[in-house]
Structure 1
């Protein structure tokens, strides 16, 4: 029992630290729970519980640092929540096979495009928030909220990339904004898992504590080290998510 807790808490800390900077922490935290013998359905719910608390902490820390662009994000939050609830509801009756293949190509594109475009997200080039930009932001919040509720892998990467490509934010602000929306979409899945009793609190609570600590460290690193740490880790995590999807497909 002690060894199991040590494994999930240690890897949970690392996962949350990475996730706070560039997303993709689920690649580390979920396998940690499976590694110690937690059944898949309980592992998913327990991981969502701990990760949601960690992403809440990251969101608050980013917000206090002034990195979250609330004039835009405040419009996106309700659309993200609606999309996530619709996605969680839809996944009960629709196969995710096609989405699995589509996301593989999309996440590879995001990672490779970012890798070869050296200036992407280096400077904050955001200029103004027009009505059309708000509509575009709400639309992708709805789409990625739905995606996170329905499937999930790579949501953080897609959000960060969208904030940079559509609005010209740098990687740090894009990461901060995406963390707020990611936490919002997590709520729908978390409520669904909790309602069905799929959260193992004996593992979830200690794991959540260490993931909150990890998210705090990761957020502070992102704020103080800036693009020099966020962009490389973003590319690495995007490609790792793609590798995971390829492995599942094969």
Structure 2
């Protein structure tokens, strides 16, 4: 039964994550429910061993249909990877309790801003020329990469919002670009946790197959229905993240 539960959770997580991020909102609680006595680091590592494949598959699928801005994305991916390693290292030195309590309010501000700006992310009009765009995206990749390594919830959604608000992308192009950066932050976190022995590979491989299937399905849906659909899913996922992170920070 445990194999079925985590496989279905990974499938649905891959579907949601491929559109707007937030797959961890589904898969991580499922892992904690199925394996209540397992170390948290092992469950987070096992989650990343599946999600890294789903985000990579979504990146490949998006790149066939969306014009990816590789001149900015490739250096930004390297910065995101470095940021994730730095954040994971920082987690060993500084407790993340303050960020856990602050996160629901950050997400709420992000949601309210998106609701107030009704045209936000509807049109793809990049704000920067090539070299400046690469510099800005590297900064975005590194900062959010540090956050993913240090804490993690909502990383994909933060990437999408930054690309829409700062870089001028529409939600579909932002989601496509975010998948690549989120793949590298997942890879950075997975590498560190794997080196410390915090990955159950036998579960992770099965979950990876399910996650890829969900990711491919979600990518097809996003490409079919476009930026307006992605915006709506983004707001729904951020709302769920607000509720989940607020519960974890103040009620759990």
Aligning the two structures, in what range does the TM-score lie when normalised by the shorter sequence? over 0.9
Q: Which runs of 4+ in 1 moved over 4 A?
A: none
Equivalent in the alignment of 2:11: 13
**TM-score relative to the length of structure 2:** 0.94
CA-to-aligned-CA distance 1:83-108 (integer Å, 9 cap, x gap):
11111111111011122233222111
Counterparts of 1:155-174 in structure 2, within 5 Å, are: 155-174=155-174
> Is 1:212 the counterpart of 2:212 in the alignment?
yes
Contact 1:62 1:219 in 2 (8 A): yes
Q: Which of residues 27, 31, 34 in structure 2 aligns to 1:33?
A: 31
Distance in structure 2 (CA, Å) of the matches to 1:218 and 1:112: 25
Contact 1:72 1:129 in 2 (8 A): no
Number of aligned residue pairs: give it. 248
Distance in structure 2 (CA, Å) of the matches to 1:98 and 1:67: 39
Distance in structure 2 (CA, Å) of the matches to 1:120 and 1:76: 23
**How many Å apart are 1:150 and its aligned residue?**
0.7
**How many Å apart are 1:227 and its aligned residue?**
1.7
- Extract unaligned runs of 5+ from structure 2: none
RMSD: 1.4
Contact 1:42 1:199 in 2 (8 A): yes
Contact 2:171 2:228 in 1 (8 A): no
**TM-score relative to the length of structure 1:** 0.94
Distance in structure 1 (CA, Å) of the matches to 2:162 and 2:178: 9
CA-to-aligned-CA distance 1:95-127 (integer Å, 9 cap, x gap):
111222332221111112112322111111225
